[in-house]
Structure 1
Amino acid sequence: MFSQISIVLLLLLCANTFHRRTCGTNLQLLCNENDRFALQIFKLGVGNHSNMLPSWSTEQDCCVWKGVHCDNTTGRVTRLDLHQQHLEVELRLESCHLTNISPSIKYVNFSSLSTLDLSGNHFFTELPYWLLNITTISHIDLSFNLLQGPIPKSLLSLRNLVFLKLNNNEISGSIPEWLGQHEQLQYLGLSENVFNGSIPSSIGNLSSLVDLSIRGLPHISENVLLLDLSDNSFSGPISPFFCHKLGRETSLDYLDISSNLFTGEVPDCWEYWKGLSFLFMQNNKLTGEVPQSMASFVDIIILNLSNNCLSGNFSLDLSNLKNLEYINLKRNNLSGAVPTRMPSGMEVMLLGSNQFEGNIPPQLSWQEHKEQFTIHFRSIWYTKGQELEYRDYGLLRTLDLSCNNLSGEIPPQVFSLDQLQTLNSSRNHLTGKMSREIGSMKNLESLDLSSNKLYGEIPTSISSLSFLSFLNLSNNDFTGQIPIGTQLQTFSASSYAGNPKLCGAPLPKNCTEASAIADGSKQNGGSNDEAFQIESLYLGIGVGFVVGFWGLWGSLFLNRTWRHTYIRFLNHVVDQIHVFVVVKWNSLKGTQ
């Protein structure tokens, strides 16, 4: 069972070669201290619950330990004979300053070896062939060495592998496709090597895998244009990957590392990546501040850092990012004031669920971007009361400031953004009245101002927002009657809940006629608004009558089948009425 283990352990223990002689036990010769230390480490690493190595005591010279044979001249250990020792073969020799893993040995008989830990040594060789013949082994840790060369395909014969750790070496070549055939593999560590090529798709076939570490991916070529590592379980810091010495700028245009387990700070070396147009880093565990070197993105269009653990003041000058159209910083711990300096082409700004404070800056202004970009990307954000996923944000206009510590009034300039489709300033500490300028936001589809301290009447001009499909004004201090409009009464009562001074449909609280007239006269312009309100009501009634009239009679006029069916239906109804009248009349005559 242990016919060749002595040779292997000898070479693991000995850093230098020496002349071999037939060894006997020489009580006068002291064994080498380095060998004694290595044997003691070996004893600790070998499963030995029965304590079958009692002679391996520090009180005795290691050359007289049972199974240990030393050279008569040098005192160095030359052979170990551990057969019939009833040992559990689990070999752990981590951090023993070993230098030779003996790649020249072709085969050893480790028929019971299940765990081999040789990490933290100084092996400057390729992976040994004898290791790849141990078919019973399930745990291999060769990390933190100087191992070189490619991963040999003979590793595929170790079908019981559950744990394979080869990280922090100098292993080269590509990550082999056949690794995906290790169905029982639960831990795979390949990080911090010098692999090249791509990560094989077969890694996704490892159904038992729970821990995958490939960080320190090959350094990407300067000619790569698109890199997508999203939706994996990559972990660890990303700074070594992005901040290695490139020598010159890369050609990378699209980078997506979203939805992984990356940790550590966002790298501050983006001067090498000036050409990036699309950067997705959301849904990780990144920390620290947004680095100033991101201001060097001269071509950036989309920047998504949402759902991380970023903190500190956000002081990046967005106005330098001339092409920026979309920025998402939601669900972090960023603080400071809402950024005011931004490019004129900004289309989507998502800052919700942070610690921004102060007033909403009145300088917010966007100019309509005249060109529609068609690249498809994904983003999940909060609008219309739920999490939605949108693809291709071609012409979307969105402002999300929800879940912060903003205070003060909402500047009228915000309500003059006539291209805006979504406005979400909910769950802040905003005060003041809602500007009547909201009526000019003709493209608004979603409005959420809930959970603030807004007060006053709801402007009647809001009823002119014909595209509004979501509205939430709950938990404020609005007063008076809900303006009458073609859509405002179609929203549920929850859209207005938490405003005790508010009345009118769809709320169950009715407004008296006098209070309704008083509210109308006082509401942002007096008689003009009242006239507008009445005019809108009459206009709605008139349009409804015309649509209903022509919806019925126009169909009958144009469709002969419908017209005949309708006439037969009327004849049937008349006959039924005639019969009913005759029967009733006869019954009345009979009772007289």
Structure 2
Amino acid sequence: MSINDHRLVQCNEKDKETLLIFKKGINDSSNGKISTWLTEKYCCAWEGVHCDNVTGRVTELDLHYQNLKGEINFSILQLEFLSYLDLSNNEFDMINIPATQHNITHASNLFYLDLSGIDLHMDNLHWITPLSSLKYLNLSGIDLHKETNWLQAVSTLPSLLELQLLNCKLNNFMTNPSIKYLNMSSFVTLDLSHNNFSFQLPNGIFNLTKDLNYLSLSGNNIHGEIPSSLLNLQNLRVLDLEYNQLQGSIPDGIGQLPNIQYLSLAGNMLSGSIPSTIGNLSSIQYLSIGYNNFSGEISEKTFSRLYNLDSLDLTESKFVFQFDFDWVPPFQLQYLSLSDTNQGPTFPSWIYTQKSLQLLQLSRSGIALVDRNKFWSLMERIKYVYFSNNSMTGDISNLTLKGRHIALDHNNFTGELPHISPMGVRVDFSFNFFSGSIPLSWKNLKHLHYLNLWSNKLSGEALVHLSNWKQLKSLNLGENKFSGTIPIKMSQHLEVVILRGNQFTGDIPLHIFDLSDMFHLDLAHNNLSGSIPKCVYNLTQMITISTIPYMTIGKFEWFTKGQEYYVDFINPNRTTIDLSANNLSGEVPLELFQLVQLQTLNLSYNNLIGTIPKMIGGMKSMESLDLSNNKLSGEIPQSMVLLNFLGYLNLSCNNFDGKIPIGTQLQSFDASSYIDNPKLCGAPLNNCTTNEENHKNATSPEDEDDDSIRESLYLGMGVGFAVGFLGICGSLFLIRKWRHAFYRFVDGVGDKLYVTLMVKLNRFHRNYAPGS
């Protein structure tokens, strides 16, 4: 019915009042459908409102995906002829259930109710009991953990056909005493996935309904074996039991489910071999049984009658694959995952026959040998390619990969980088042997979100295309030989920038500190010069608790606490700035110490001067701080004792003076965190005594040098005497214990002499080097 039709119908005044009561609690910040209410004479013309064309009574209210905030007032259920209500995927933060809701005087006509995708808490489901005509109920995403009698509430709905309570934090499901209260005889769809259930499936559960065609209990903690009563569900089309704790084997009678189209048992602890009867599921389109403990052989006989199979997932299976080299399957797959299975060393020839493949996962499958012509042709047409961690070789520079997601990392590919279609979104060529520069055609990758070229042999000015990649979120070009300068214009969406271990030169542009989404910046081990920019640091993710609602998925080399970590994702709360091993000079900007959520800061091996400001004490999330090998001076501020999460600290090889502040955290590090700061003292270094301080004040640099020479001379004389004594009296050391003791003495004296001379030499170079 069109809006023009609605204008011919004058809506019922009582319905209009009910709608306006509902509207009062809503904040329509996006000026969506509900903002038009009151702008038309008749409520039947309001956006989202549908009325009966004859009576003018409101029958439908559809406000899904409208960014509505505020309160859901269930007085809306007082609409006598309302049959359809969809408020899903909005941002409501409150539910108002009027007392009159429990005493609805009219017979409810509501048959469709969808409140899914709303992040709300709901204490009980008593309000649904009057909705006797309800056939479809979807409360997925609503927190119902306080509702302990949800089963009884649902069982009061005699007409209910479809129940979806996905991700509702439910923690009680079915125990023997409660089965008698549950009426599921009319159910066609039941989705209770991703809750907190922990129980064993009772054998009688599948006797409760024989009309069920959709059942999902995935993502819970259900244990025990798959009950044989499952075979009673002859109408079942979808069975999803993945990611539970199910044990035992797949029932042999699984092949007796003639209508099954979707079967997922992945992510359990099932064992044994695959029953041959699974080959009888001629209607099946999606089969996922990976991430279990299955064993035995699997061959073409298993799939000989699966004519309609569209998706196959055997990830992380221990099967012995016995496919004939010339086998041509009876199906054409769009989705195939054989990652973490033993397929190699030769690429499975039957995969070349799959002309409809859109996604292929063969990571960590032991593949080294491919039919080059067939393999290159396959790679060029697949949209989602995951071949990570194999031993594939070859020059693919002449290929044009049409994939949106391309993961060829951890292989042995050589030659120049291949061409990529403009639709590329995620590209990972890391840990290969690619050489040359980034192809000019890559400038057209306007949809690129993630690029990882870590650890290749690439060179040239890599960042000339960066300003074209306006959607880029993660850039990893580390451990190559790229050169040039960092461009002024970069994607405003960048979250991760890793240029580590290259030959980039020039200044760090101001723009890089204006990327509000960035939480990981690694420019270490380059030839960058100039000072760290003094500007307004708009790095929001390093100032406030992360607002990014997801992990950044990919493969990353993360350096923190003096260690290298290899991770498959980075949490946006793990904030990092690493500018170490460059030629940066000048003072460290105060703005850098205002990034209070920063966890890892490494400025080591530069030529930075100045002091550590007192405001560093406000960086209470700091876990790793390395300022070593610079020319920083002054006292270590007392406020650093407030850094309670500091697990790694290196202030060595600077010009700090005074006493190390006393605090549990700072004294937990050994002397190596503070060494080679000549005027620094206090635990864990030597104590700052009055005599020592007076002696230092009374001693000139020349006297210190004389003392150093004298100390070295005495140590040298000691070693010479010891060696001479050994030559004269060597015969006295025929006893093994004496001989070993003497050698340890000589080694100890030699080590002490070496350390003393090296420390004095470093101090000499620092104090008397040109330009110092």
TM-score (norm 1): 0.51
Find the counterpart in structure 1 of residue 548 from structure 2. Answer: 371
**Contact map agreement 2:598 2:621 (CA 8 A) in 1:** yes
Q: 1:495 to 1:264 in 2, by over 3 A?
A: same
Q: For the residues of structure 2 that align with 1:510 and 1:312, how far apart are their CA atoms?
A: 48
For 2:575, the equivalent position in structure 1 comes to 397
Superposition pairs for residues 554-573 of structure 1, below 5 Å? none
Q: CA deviation at 1:442?
A: 1.5
Query: How many Å separate the matches in 1 of 2:456 and 2:388?
Result: 20
Structure 1 residues 386 and 228 mapped into 2: Cα distance closer, same or farther (>3 Å)? same
Aligned to 2:503: 333
Q: SS state of the match for residue 467, structure 1? A: coil
Aligned to 2:627: 449
- Among 200, 213, 220, the alignment partner of 2:401 is 220
Give the 3-state SS of the residue equivalent to 1:489 in structure 2.
helix
Cα distance change of structure 1 residues 204 and 447 upon mapping to structure 2, 3 Å threshold: closer
Pick closer, same or farther for the CA change 1:492–1:193 going to 2, 3 Å.
Answer: closer
Rounded to whole Å, the distance in 2 between the matches of 1:347 and 1:337 is 20
Structure 1 residues 201, 441: CA separation in 2 closer, same or farther (over 3 Å shift)? closer
Report whether the alignment pairs 1:491 with 2:491. no
In structure 1, C-alpha distance between the alignment counterparts of 2:472 and 2:615, rounded to whole Å: 33
Q: How far is the alpha carbon of 1:268 from its aligned partner?
A: 3.1
Q: Name the counterpart of 1:282.
A: 454
Choose from 234, 237, 243 the match for 2:413: 234
8 Å Cα contact 1:268-1:294 kept in structure 2: no
Query: In the alignment, is the contact (CA less than 8 A) between 2:388 and 2:407 conserved in 1?
Result: no
How many residues of Structure 1 are paired with residues of Structure 2 in the alignment?
A: 337
Offset, 1:378? 2.4
Tell me which residue corresponds to 1:291: 463
Amino acid at match of 1:468: L
1:192-213 Cα distance to aligned partner (Å, 9 max, x none) = 975555699999999xx7x821
Residues 418, 440 of structure 1: 8 Å contact kept:
yes
How many Å separate the matches in 2 of 1:191 and 1:340? 48
Q: Which residue is equivalent to 1:505? A: 683
- For the 8 Å contact 1:372–1:395, the answer to whether it is kept is no
Alignment of 1:41-52 (within 5 A): none
Residue 437 of structure 2 is aligned with which of 247, 260, 265? 265
Cα 1:364–1:398 shift into 2, 3 Å: farther
Q: Distance in 1 between matches of 2:693 and 2:470?
A: 58
Aligned to 2:204: none
Question: What is the DSSP-based 3-state SS (H/G/I as helix, E as strand, rest coil) of the residue aligned with 1:286?
Answer: strand
Q: How does 1:297-376 map to 2 (within 5 A)?
A: 297-318=469-490, 321-342=491-512, 343-363=515-535, 365=537, 366-368=539-541, 369-376=546-553
Aligned-partner Cα distance in 1 for 2:616–2:527: 27
Q: For the pair shown, which has the larger CA radius of gyration, 1 or 2?
A: 1
Distance in 2 between residues matched to 1:185 and 1:447, nearest whole Å: 43
Q: CA deviation at 1:191?
A: 11
Q: CA deviation at 1:315?
A: 2.2
Higher relative contact order (CA 8 A, sep 6+): 1
Shift of 1:373: 2.1
Amino acid at match of 1:358: G
Q: Deviations over 1:257-310 (max 9, x none)?
A: 111111100223334211111111111111001232221222211111111110
Q: Which one of the candidate residues 467, 489, 505 is aligned to 2:645?
A: 467
Q: Would you say the 8 A contact 2:410–2:431 is kept in 1?
A: yes
Identity %: 36
Distance 1:305 1:344, change over 3 A: same
Check the 8 A contact 1:503/1:511 in 2, yes or no.
no
Q: Distance in 1 between matches of 2:627 and 2:376?
A: 52
Per-residue CA deviations over 1:403-437 (Å, capped at 9, x if unaligned) read 00001111111111111111000011111111111
How well do the aligned residues superpose, as a CA RMSD in angstroms?
A: 4.0
Structure 1, residues 351-382: CA drift from partner, whole Å, max 9, x if none?
Answer: 00000001111126111352232343221132
- The reply to whether residue 409 of structure 1 matches residue 587 of structure 2 is yes
Q: Deviations over 1:113-139 (max 9, x none)?
A: xxxxxxxxxxxxxxxxxxxxxxxxxxx
Distance 1:289 1:203, change over 3 A: closer
Q: In the TM superposition, what is the alpha-carbon distance from 1:189 to its structure 2 partner?
A: 6.3
Helix, strand or coil for the counterpart of 1:485?
A: coil
| Deviation string, structure 1 residues 498-517 (Cα, Å, up to 9, x no partner) | 1111100011343439969x
Match of 1:385 in 2: 562
SS at match of 1:413: helix
C-alpha contact (below 8 Å) 1:364/1:414 kept by paired residues: no
Q: CA deviation at 1:464?
A: 1.0
CA distance in 1, matches of 2:386, 2:618: 55
Write out aligned runs for 1:21-40 (5 A). Answer: none
**Are the aligned partners of 1:173 and 1:194 in contact in 2 as well (CA < 8 Å)?**
no
Q: Distance between the aligned counterparts of 2:389 and 2:431, measured in 1?
A: 19
Partner of 2:649, secondary structure, is: strand
Query: Do the aligned partners of residues 456 and 205 (structure 1) sit closer, same or farther apart at CA in structure 2, a change above 3 Å counting?
Result: closer
Give 3-state SS (helix, strand or coil) of 1:341's partner.
helix
8 A Cα contact 2:416 2:435, kept in partner: yes
| Contact 2:388-2:411 within 8 A present in 1 as well | no
**8 A contact 1:278–1:303 mirrored in 2:** yes
Q: Which amino acid aligns with 1:460?
A: Q
